[in-house]
Structure 1
Amino acid sequence: MTTNLPFRTLKRATDSAIRKRPQPKRAHLVQSSTFTTSLRLRVEEDVDPADRPRWQQTPKAMVAPVPTNFKREHMTFKVNESQEKLDEVYVRILGAGGDRLLPEEVKWLAITHKSFDHGRRGFNDRLAYFGKRVVDLQTSLALLTAPDPEIQNSSNPQLDEFGRTPFQHHSLNGLDKLTESAKAKELDKSRLAQLAESYGLAKVIRWKPKNTRNLAGSGIDVVLAHTIYAIVGAITLQNGGEIGNRIVKDRVLNPLGL
């Protein structure tokens, strides 16, 4: 026999059962530094204070119980783990005291490509995106203010295909240098990669090449240029635009001839 209870009685009984149901333990966000990528999920219980930071180890929750691929000789690639070696490279790039311009975690994050450890320890894409905007701006300003030898050395203006003299004004000099092709020529990945090589950046970047026997074919030039942008982005975010712009002018554009 079925009992027809009023709707309000059934609703009160359902709400009471939900309140008595045991709630699962929640994880809280704990911020270990001022940088947003250092946020980590930690459970209320079983917190070990000796746990290493994220950049030093793969988070346990992201490790598969069984390896899904077999290690091959051409796939094994060892990256730098020495803090002293990394600090030496930052001093070469940023000058004296450059190893103290960034926190430890940010220094490692800026030189970590997303191919390293499948991106589980954090990677530098966002830093590189912001750093490229800063470098693009300073490159445009440098191209605008750079003297044009063709204008200075030519006493007679060049005529167009119809024999006419084009309009000239000193405010328009160098305007054609702001095209995308002009900036792309100055900031070519091979040029930035050579600059990064001169700073020793190739020895400390963390990435996973497709073939360890062919780093060029695996795209090391792109990774090095990407890392230069990431370091600029990290410096600018951490220390402000004035220092970031000066680093771009003195340590990136001047060695490139701008």
Structure 2
Amino acid sequence: MFFPILKAQSTKSLTRSVGYLHAQPKRVRGLVRDPATFLQSPCGKAYDIQSTSSLKTYLGEEYALDDNLLLQVLTHKSFAHGMKPFNEKLSVHGSQFLKHKSAIHTVNSEKGISALGSLESRKTLSTDILAAFVKQQGFADVIYWKKRDDSITDPTQSGENSIKAGVLEALIGALLVTRGAGVAEKFVFEKLLSENSKDSLVNIVRAQA
């Protein structure tokens, strides 16, 4: 695809040059790549607002978030060289909030503070369990990130599970920052830590035991 580029000269006149967007499978050194060829998830999903639909459906009206914020939640800093809004800071907020609420849940539902070191309580917040939750909810395919090495297919070795876990933590962080601690806390207790929810972190751990 060719497109004109106008350049201003010192004489205040304009000159016309030609750029080229390269969209072929094989890279050609020196040519500008068509953004559509790389602004995709590893599963080939285009980077756009429409990709947030599955996450929006999961959240419903009760935990609704702005579309652009949802897209940020789904985007890791490795994607597009960090040129798109990414979820790192939201993930940090969400991670700390989840740890706090999980500790409260463990103490209240088990045998006091000594239960904090139990295997189940530790596994509940593990990277693999958080990643399994994201995969079960159906929005893993629209997580935007760049693989370090395409030859590594094991999600525990490729970084994929860490990316998925970060998305869940970023989602909690987004609720905390924009909807407040009350809404974020309700989400964590009802969606992630409740024994009454078959897809909760708690029940994923128990199902794998």
Normalising by the smaller structure, the TM-score range is 0.5 to 0.7
SS in 1 for 2:101: helix
Q: CA deviation at 1:82?
A: 4.7
TM-score, normalised with respect to structure 2: 0.67
Q: From 141, 147, 151, give the equivalent of 1:203.
A: 141
Q: CA deviation at 1:106?
A: 1.1
Contact 2:123 2:129 in 1 (8 A): no
Contact 1:111 1:124 in 2 (8 A): yes
Aligned-pair identity in percent equals 22
Q: Is the alpha carbon distance of 1:186 and 1:239 closer, same or farther for their aligned partners in structure 2, counting shifts above 3 Å?
A: same
Distance 1:228 1:178 in 2: 22
Corresponding residue for residue 36 of structure 2: none
SS in 2 for 1:122: coil
Q: From 68, 91, 97, give the equivalent of 2:61.
A: 97
Matched, 1:186 2:149: no
After superposition, the CA RMSD in angstroms is 2.8
Amino acid across the alignment from 1:225: A
Corresponding residue for residue 231 of structure 1: 171
Corresponding residue for residue 152 of structure 1: none
Range 81-90 or range 114-123, more displaced: 81-90
Matched, 1:124 2:90: no
Q: Is the alpha carbon distance of 1:200 and 1:215 closer, same or farther for their aligned partners in structure 2, counting shifts above 3 Å?
A: farther
Matched, 1:84 2:72: no
The structure having more radius of gyration, on CA atoms, is 1
Distance 2:92 2:126 in 1: 16
Contact 1:124 1:230 in 2 (8 A): yes
Q: CA deviation at 1:177?
A: 2.2
Q: CA deviation at 1:66?
A: 4.3
Distance 1:67 1:229 in 2: 38
Q: CA deviation at 1:209?
A: 1.2
Distance 2:83 2:47 in 1: 16
Which structure: greater strand fraction?
2
SS in 2 for 1:209: coil
Distance 2:154 2:74 in 1: 17
Amino acid across the alignment from 1:97: E
Corresponding residue for residue 15 of structure 1: none
Q: From 160, 167, 189, give the equivalent of 1:220.
A: 160
Contact 1:201 1:224 in 2 (8 A): no
Amino acid across the alignment from 2:88: D
Contact 1:80 1:206 in 2 (8 A): no
Q: CA deviation at 1:101?
A: 2.2
Distance 1:107 1:147 in 2: 34
Q: Is the alpha carbon distance of 1:223 and 1:67 closer, same or farther for their aligned partners in structure 2, counting shifts above 3 Å?
A: farther
Structure 1 residues without counterparts, runs of 5 or longer: 1-64, 69-75, 149-173
